[in-house]
Structure 1
Amino acid sequence: MIRLAPLAALVAALAGPAALAQEPAARAQIGPRPFHLVDTMKPGPVREALRACGPERPYTVRDFSISHRGAPLQFPEHTVEGVKAAARMGAGIIECDVAFTKDRELVCRHAQCDLHRTTDILSRPALAAKCSQGFTPADPATGRKASAKCCASDLTLAEFKSLNGKMDAADPNATTLDAYMNATPRWRTDLYATTGTLMTHKEYIALVKSLGRKFTPELKAPEVPMPFEGSYSQDQYAQQLIDDYKAAGIPPADVFPQSFLLRDVLYWIRAEPDFGRQAVFLDEREGGGFDTAKPETWSPSMSDLAGRGVRILAPPLWMLVAPGPDGTIVPSAYAREARKAGLDLIAWSLERSGPLESGGGWYYQSVKPLIDRDGDMLTLLDVLHRQIGVRGVFSDWPATTTFYANCVGAP
């Protein structure tokens, strides 16, 4: 006999994000990918421990799992669809990179001038005409690469909102506009990329709040002279970001504002201390003598950062690890000194590199000789958690970090 669920239970099941947010430990849908990654790991105790976490067990939302731009392994970045996917996969914290439009409204974009790569603007003649630089095809005869430059600050908010998001890609060798735009890497997909819904920063706040998740907005470095149009300063830009959370009634403890510019982090620490105590300084130092193994090349030093009120440091994956003497991945001097100075660490970004059979590219550069399969990202994740003690990891596919966090008991 078929038994029908009570009406109240059915209504709750269909209630969507609000019902999900009310659960004390919201369930996560992690799908088959984490188990595939475990299957491809090298034999060893980490693999065996993770294999013990089967698909039949419940998985719950974890703050250790931080959504990088939504879920851009398969969904266009910084779209409503990507944010919802990240929440369903158990990301406890979801990112919005913040840029500004011509009328100084905040929107979610990875860079101020990436619309030619991440939206359909070039196929919309009236809007493409507003781009800082229109499409120029490649010229094989001269070696000229295809190019374009379309910025959020080229458009009003209304114009920005009329665009559709697409997968982040552009072919520099394209001789036609279609080829330039249709360049999604083979390890991503366009299956969900036809109608990506762009978001303002305020819309992102409302959506993430409805999903019961926390926020990590990144103030993107402007690609236009500041003050913008002579009157919109960097500090006004940084303050506007915080003001949006205050207006929405978001507790400061739920917000982790980020910037690659130390001046922004120090501004928040000084002007908005309730938010500033969780401000994240993004560190991407390369060149200029910087060496993760040599503290004397770091400026400012870890102790200097801590002394100025910085509490959370977020470098790319490769800066936190190094090859060990026995052919294993171990914490780098950079990681050890950061923890010694009392700094919390967040790493970025897992699953950004595509297949890892050839060393993992930029994100794995410090341990490239040790990387030869996709399962190695879980090995690296285990070092970040167990040996370094990072508080979270950004991922382009949050199900992977959600799975790992549940298996090992990370928060």
Structure 2
Amino acid sequence: MAPSALKERLVGCGGQVPAPSAFSIGHRGAALLFPEHTKESYVAAARMGAGLIECDVTFTKDKELVCRHSQCDLHTTTNILVTPLASKCTTPFAPAADGAPATAKCCTSDVTLAEFRTLTGKMDGADAAATSAEAYLAGTAPFRTDLYAASGATGTLLTHAESIDLIRSLGAKFTPELKAPAVAMPFDGLTQAAYAQQLIDEYKAAGVPAEDVWAQSFRLDDVLYWVRAEPRFANQAVYLDGRYDVDAFNHTAPSTYAPTMRQLYEGGVRIVAPPLWMLLAPDGDGAMAPSVYARAARAAGLNLITWTLERSGSPPAGWYFQTVADLVRTDGDVLVALDVLARQVKVLGVFSDWPATVTYYANCVGLA
């Protein structure tokens, strides 16, 4: 890290005992080193001081809510392909052959909750060149590790209700994401609205107050449903802004695309969460600064959360820092970006695959 007042301050905090911070959000738990959305990953995130921990929520064949990043990721995040349940997958495993990659697609909606409970979590990844299911499952990204997902230390899968009990016992709060279904809705009578309501109902059943929950969705209609049906929970509902995938959307001119920031606020949205790069831009002096998107959101009265730190490997690269790629070349530069997000963009929190970094920073600058 280049010499700076920020570096001096961060080095000076080396002797601190960090406290948990709501600014530090465990993205899928602590997914850099632990199988995502497992008991082990959530415990690790809490030990690193994540004040909020995420359960991505989807449903099984019998319409029970479980924690998975995607409805159809069991083939890359669990051992399903080497179990008897492999035959129930939407697309059973097919080995790489004649230049074509290995394929598989296994969904939570392919199995019942009882069957889901027989699976174990692994580090997300797959080897597209594999000629066996075992080799396919071994495709962990090189910047992650299988150290905590090896035999005898596999990941314990959780239902959404179980995640609520666990996260509460760890002293953290909740940021569940309602995942977009990969199956046609209604699914066996389950409508999208009923699905969104089921997520909230499980917090109510557990006696969790609305102010401890930051429910999220990439589907604006889900957030607006909560605004109408669950206004207390909607106060902290998070619209995950995925409009970077829309060709007509320009994050450097967000007021030219509907819904605008003002329209989002007037519709009841209070928190917007885009990826890191949409909130950062180089200024005229070659430093990082808030983007046009960030300034427009704050001007409209919206609060901001962002994602995801520690997801690009080391040194940082690629998608998450694309607007400031020339300014984020080292791990130290990531801390500078984090400081800009906290002090200038004024985000409420930062998702991280290794929450210890954000927790350390938050404690050091008084955000714990």
User: TM-score under structure 2 normalisation?
Assistant: 0.97
- Please state how far the C-alpha of 1:176 moved relative to its aligned partner: 2.6
- Please state how far the C-alpha of 1:193 moved relative to its aligned partner: 0.8
1: distance between equivalents of 2:79 and 2:226? 35
Query: 1:232 aligns to what?
Result: 190
Q: How does 1:2-401 map to 2 (within 5 A)?
A: 41-54=1-14, 56-124=15-83, 126-139=84-97, 141=98, 143-194=99-150, 195-229=154-188, 231-286=189-244, 287-356=246-315, 360-401=317-358
| 3-state SS, counterpart of residue 325 of structure 1 | coil
| 3-state SS, counterpart of residue 348 of structure 1 | strand
Task: Report the residue type matching 1:381 in the other structure.
Answer: L
Contiguous gaps of at least 5 residues in structure 2: none
Task: Report the residue type matching 2:356 in the other structure.
Answer: A
Q: Deviations over 1:7-52 (max 9, x none)?
A: xxxxxxxxxxxxxxxxxxxxxxxxxxxxxxxxxx222222122111
- Please state how far the C-alpha of 1:113 moved relative to its aligned partner: 0.2
Structure 1 stretches of at least 4 aligned residues deviating more than 6 Å after TM superposition: none
Task: Report the residue type matching 2:11 in the other structure.
Answer: R
User: TM-score under structure 1 normalisation?
Assistant: 0.87
| 3-state SS, counterpart of residue 93 of structure 1 | strand
- Please state how far the C-alpha of 1:134 moved relative to its aligned partner: 0.6
| 3-state SS, counterpart of residue 88 of structure 2 | coil
1: distance between equivalents of 2:255 and 2:164? 41
Query: Which has the higher mean CA deviation after the structures are superposed, 205-214 or 170-179?
Result: 170-179
Task: Report the residue type matching 1:177 in the other structure.
Answer: A
2: distance between equivalents of 1:356 and 1:366? 16
Q: Computing the radius of gyration over CA atoms, which structure comes out larger, 1 or 2?
A: 1
The answer as to whether partners of 1:321 and 1:332 remain within 8 angstroms in 2 is yes
* Paired residue total: 364
Q: Deviations over 1:334-390 (max 9, x none)?
A: 000000111010010100111135xx1111111112221122211110000011100
The answer as to whether partners of 2:211 and 2:233 remain within 8 angstroms in 1 is yes
Task: Report the residue type matching 2:107 in the other structure.
Answer: C
2: distance between equivalents of 1:285 and 1:256? 20
- Please state how far the C-alpha of 1:177 moved relative to its aligned partner: 2.0
1: distance between equivalents of 2:280 and 2:251? 9
The answer as to whether partners of 1:289 and 1:297 remain within 8 angstroms in 2 is no
Q: Deviations over 1:320-344 (max 9, x none)?
A: 0011222111110000000011101
1: distance between equivalents of 2:79 and 2:310? 25
2: distance between equivalents of 1:138 and 1:47? 48
Task: Report the residue type matching 1:324 in the other structure.
Answer: D
2: distance between equivalents of 1:107 and 1:157? 8
2: distance between equivalents of 1:250 and 1:355? 38
The answer as to whether partners of 2:255 and 2:261 remain within 8 angstroms in 1 is no
Q: Deviations over 1:274-295 (max 9, x none)?
A: 1111100001212412221112
Q: Deviations over 1:110-146 (max 9, x none)?
A: 000000000000011x20000000111222x3x3221
